[in-house]
C-alpha cells in the first residue's frame, strides 16, 4: 500500500511538471485555435498600480510616453494605493502630458485600486501595469492587434527578468519564467490562458467586472474573461522588463502572498473546475494551478513514504539518496548565496525550487490558520 501511494504521488508530480506540458502540446496539435491579428489602433488606457514608488515612477512614466502609439489615443493613469512618499509629487509634474493621478483614500491593495480606476478610464482597451515594469517601445501595438478578433477578451504580454545583482534566486526565477512561458504559449494556442503577468496585460473595458479586493486580478481577470465566453491569449512580442528578486526573503514573501491569493481566487472561481461545462479549460486550470499548489505537500509525502520503503529494493534506496542530495544542494546554494558567492545551475535550480515550494507551503498554512489578507507589496 505504501509503495502504491509512493508511485501515485510521484506520478502526480511528474504529470504536473512534464505531463501537463505534453498534454497541452497534444491538444494544441489536434485542435489549435486560430485567432486573427491585425494592426489596429484602438483607444488605450494604461493604468499603473503604484504604492510608494518615488524611485521608479518617473522612469515608468517616461517609458510610457516613449511608447510607439498615437498619443491622442493613449491615456496614462497612475492608481496610487495611498502612497505616503513623493510618488504623488512626481506624477503631478507630468500633469500636462495627459497623465492622471487617482489616489485611494486608504491602502487597500492593487485590486481595489484597479476596481476604482478602470470605470473612470476612457480607453476601449485597458492595459494594466506596475511601476517597475518597463515596456519595449512596440509593446502596446503588439498587445492590441489581437483585439481585431472579437473572440479575444484578454491579451498577456511577456515578462522578462533581468538579474543585475546576479543573485542565485534571481537566476532561478528567470529559469522558472522560461518554463512558465512554455506553458502560456501552449495554453494560448488553445485560447485558454490561465493566468497573466500583472505588469503587462490588456483586456476590453466592456468585459471588466468588479473583483473582490483580497484577490489577485492577474489570476481572476483571465478566468472571468473565460466565464464570459471570451478567449485569453499570449503575445510574446509584447515585452516588459523587470528586475528579478535580489534575495531569498524578497522572493519568499512574494511567493507566500501569491499562494494565499491563488487559494482564495481558485475558491472564488471554483465553478470553472466543472469539466462538463468548461471542458479542457477545467483540466488546464486544475493542472496549472491546483496541482502546482499541491506540489509541496506531494514532495513531503514522497520523501517520508520513500523513507518507509527504502529497504525494499535498491531502486527505492537510490531514489531516497537522490532526494536527499537534491535538498543538500539547495541548502548549499542558500549558504553560498548568503556569502555572495557565484555558483551554477547545480545549486541555484534546487535552491529556487525548494524556496518556491517551501513558500507555497507557508502560504497554505497561513491561509488555513486564517491569515487571508495578503497585502500587495510591489517589487523594489
Give the list of residues 6+ apart from residue 368 with CB closer than 8 angstroms, or none. Answer: none
Q: Which of 44-58, 170-184, 300-314, 317-331 has the lowest mean pLDDT?
A: 170-184
So what's the pLDDT on residue 351? Answer: 85
Q: How far apart are CA 127 and CA 147, in angstroms?
A: 12
Mean pLDDT of 159-168: 66
- Using the predicted structure, report yes or no on whether residue 177 has a pLDDT greater than 80: no
Domain boundaries, given as residue ranges, for the chain: 44-247
Mean pLDDT of 310-339: 88
C-alpha cell at 51: 504604492
B/e letters for 222-234, b = 16+ CB within 10 Å, e = fewer, are bbbbbeeebbbbb
Global confidence as pTM: 0.89
| Domain 44-247: homologous superfamily in CATH | Spore Coat Polysaccharide Biosynthesis Protein SpsA; Chain A (3.90.550.10)
Instruction: Give the rounded percent of residues in the chain with a pLDDT score beyond 70.
Output: 91
- Using the predicted structure, report yes or no on whether residue 178 has a pLDDT greater than 70: yes
The tens digit of pLDDT for each residue in 247-305 reads: 677 777 888 988 999 999 999 999 999 999 999 999 999 999 999 999 999 999 999 99
So what's the pLDDT on residue 1? Answer: 83
Report the SS3 class of residue 99: strand
Question: Can you list the positions of beta strands (E) in 37-124?
Answer: 44-50, 74-80, 99-103
- Using the predicted structure, report yes or no on whether residue 170 has a pLDDT greater than 60: no
Mean pLDDT of 6-24: 96
For the CA atoms of 335, 175, 145, 113, the dihedral, rounded to the nearest 10 degrees, stands at -30
Mean pLDDT of 338-356: 72
Instruction: Give the rounded percent of residues in the chain with a pLDDT score beyond 90.
Output: 65
Mean pLDDT of 203-210: 95
So what's the pLDDT on residue 24? Answer: 93
Binned at pLDDT 50, 70 and 90, residue 238 comes out as: very high
- Using the predicted structure, report yes or no on whether residue 343 has a pLDDT greater than 60: no
Binned at pLDDT 50, 70 and 90, residue 341 comes out as: low
Cα-Cα end-to-end distance for the chain: 49
Amino acid at each position: 500500500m505504501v509503495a502504491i501511494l509512493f508511485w501515485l504521488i510521484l506520478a502526480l508530480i511528474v504529470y504536473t511538471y512534464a505531463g501537463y506540458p505534453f498534454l497541452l502540446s497534444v491538444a494544441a496539435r489536434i485542435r489549435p485555435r486560430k485567432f486573427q491579428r491585425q494592426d489596429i489602433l484602438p483607444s488605450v488606457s494604461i493604468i499603473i498600480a503604484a504604492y510608494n514608488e518615488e524611485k521608479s515612477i518617473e522612469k515608468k512614466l517616461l517609458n510610457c510616453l516613449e511608447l510607439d502609439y498615437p498619443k491622442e489615443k493613449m491615456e496614462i493613469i497612475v492608481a496610487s494605493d495611498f502612497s505616503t512618499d513623493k510618488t504623488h509629487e512626481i506624477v503631478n509634474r507630468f500633469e500636462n502630458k495627459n497623465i492622471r493621478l487617482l489616489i485611494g483614500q486608504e491602502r487597500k491593495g492593487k485590486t481595489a485600486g484597479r476596481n476604482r480606476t478602470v470605470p473612470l478610464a476612457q480607453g476601449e482597451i485597458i492595459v494594466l501595469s506596475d511601476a517597475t515594469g518597463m515596456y519595449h517601445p512596440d509593446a502596446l501595438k503588439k498587445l492590441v492587434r489581437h483585439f481585431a478578433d472579437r473572440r479575444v477578451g484578454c491579451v498577456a504580454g511577456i515578462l522578462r527578468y533581468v538579474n543585475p545583482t546576479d543573485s542565485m534566486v534571481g537566476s532561478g526565477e528567470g529559469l522558472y519564467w522560461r518554463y512558465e512561458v512554455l506553458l502560456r504559449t501552449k495554453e494560448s494556442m488553445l485560447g485558454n490562458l490561465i493566468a497573466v503577468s500583472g505588469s503587462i496585460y490588456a483586456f476590453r473595458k466592456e468585459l471588466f467586472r468588479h473583483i473582490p479586493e483580497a484577490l489577485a486580478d492577474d489570476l481572476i481577470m483571465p478566468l472571468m474573461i473565460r466565464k464570459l465566453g471570451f478567449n485569453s491569449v499570449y503575445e510574446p512580442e509584447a515585452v516588459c522588463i523587470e528586475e528579478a528578486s535580489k534575495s531569498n526573503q524578497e522572493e519568499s514573501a512574494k511567493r507566500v502572498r501569491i499562494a494565499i491569493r491563488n487559494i482564495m481566487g481558485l475558491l472564488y472561481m471554483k465553478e470553472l473546475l466543472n469539466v462538463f461545462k468548461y471542458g479542457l479549460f477545467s483540466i488546464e486550470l486544475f493542472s496549472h494551478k491546483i496541482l502546482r499548489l499541491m506540489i509541496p505537500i506531494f514532495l513531503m509525502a514522497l520523501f517520508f513514504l520513500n523513507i518507509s520503503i527504502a529497504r525494499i529494493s535498491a531502486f527505492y534506496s537510490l531514489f531516497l539518496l537522490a532526494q536527499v542530495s537534491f535538498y543538500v544542494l539547495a541548502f548549499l546554494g542558500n549558504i553560498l548565496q548568503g556569502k555572495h558567492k557565484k555558483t551554477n545551475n547545480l545549486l541555484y535550480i534546487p535552491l529556487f525550487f525548494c524556496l518556491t515550494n517551501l513558500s507555497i507551503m507557508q502560504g497554505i498554512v497561513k491561509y488555513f490558520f486564517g491569515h487571508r489578507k495578503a497585502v500587495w507589496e510591489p517589487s523594489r
